Structure 1
Amino acid sequence: MQAATASLRLAARASQRGVLTRRLATAAATHAEAHGAAAAASPARKAAPVSLLNMEARWTQLTEEDQAAVHEQLEAVQQKDWKELSVDEKKAAYYVAFGPHGPRAPDSLPGDNTKIWLSVGALVGVAALLTIGFRQFTPPPPHTITKEWEEASNQRALEMKLNPITGISSEGYTGKGFVQTK
C-alpha cells in the first residue's frame, strides 16, 4: 500500500514538472504525445516563420527549434501546387530533405585527400631512406655465395658421391645441384 502511494506521489511530481513517465507495462508515449505534453507544460509560444531565403548557407546556424519550425513551414508550403512555390521555397525544401547535413554530412573536409597523399608520400620517402641507410651499413655478402663457389661445391659433391640415390650423384640427375645464383 505504501509503495503504491509513493509511486502515485512520484507520478504527480513528474507530471507537475512536465516529465513523461512510463508505468509498469504501459506503452511509451508516441512522438506527438510527448511533444504535446512538453508543449502543455512549457509556456505556449508560436515560432515566427523563418525566412527560407538562402537556407543552404543558414541551416547550420539555426537552432534545433528553428530547424523544426522551418521543417514544419516547408511541410505546409509543400501542400500547395508545386508550380506555385517560389524558387527559394523549392531550394529550401530540397535542401532540408536531401542536403548534406545530419546523416548525409560528408565524412571528410576539403583538403583531406591532399593531406592523406602527402602523408603517404612522406612515409614512403622515410621508408626508402631507411632502406638505403640500412644497406649502407650492412656487410657485403659472403664469398661462398658466388657462382664459381657453388659450381666448385657441385664438383666436390660429385667427387664425394653425395646422395647417390636421388641427388646430385645419382644417374640421370638433371638439377642445378648447389648452384642458386643466376
Structure 2
Amino acid sequence: MQASALRLARQASSLPLRRCLATTVNPAHVASSSASSPSPTRVTAQQSIIPLGNIEAQWERMSVEDKTTVHEQLEEIMKKDWKQLSIDEKKAAYYVSFGPHGPRAPISQPGDNWKILGCVIALVGVSAIISGTIRSYGQETPRTLSKEWQEASNERAREQKMNPLTGIASEGYSGTGFVSK
C-alpha cells in the first residue's frame, strides 16, 4: 500500500500541489485538494502526503512545519459536517487538539514520585537537625510557661471575673483555663 502511495505521489508531482493530508490513496483526492486551495502562495518544492491513519505515532517525529500543516489541514477538515469525516480524521483531530503534547504534556516523568519523596524526607531531616541544634543552644523555657504560673493566671482571671458568660469566671466552667500542659 505504501508503494502505491509513493507511485501516486510521484505521478502527481508534475501537478502544482499544496501540501495536504491524505486519508485514502486516491489521486483525484490529491488533485481536488490542490485545486481547491484558497492560498495564493506558490509551492516550489515537491510536496509529500502526510497520512492521518496513525498520527499519534508520527507526531513526535514531525517537524514544526509539518505540525503546522497538519493543524491547518485539520482546521479545514473540521469545517465539514462531523458525520462526513472518516474515523481517521476524527481520531487525528482529537489527538492534535487534546493529545499529550504541548501544554497537555505530562509534567512528571516515571520515577519522579520517588525523587520527590526522597527530597521531602531529606528536607524534613535537615529541618529536624537545624531545629534540634537551635533548641540545644537556646535558652530554657520562659517562666510564664511553668504550670504554677498558669494556675496563678487562672486564679487571677477568676478574681477579675474575666469572661463571666462563657469563660473561666462563668458558673459551671469545666475547662483548663490558661493551663496548657
Q: TM-score range by the shorter chain?
A: 0.3 to 0.5
Rg larger in 1 or in 2?
1
Q: Which structure would you say has the larger RCO, counting Cα contacts within 8 Å and 6 or more residues apart?
A: 2
When normalised by structure 1's length, the TM-score is 0.45
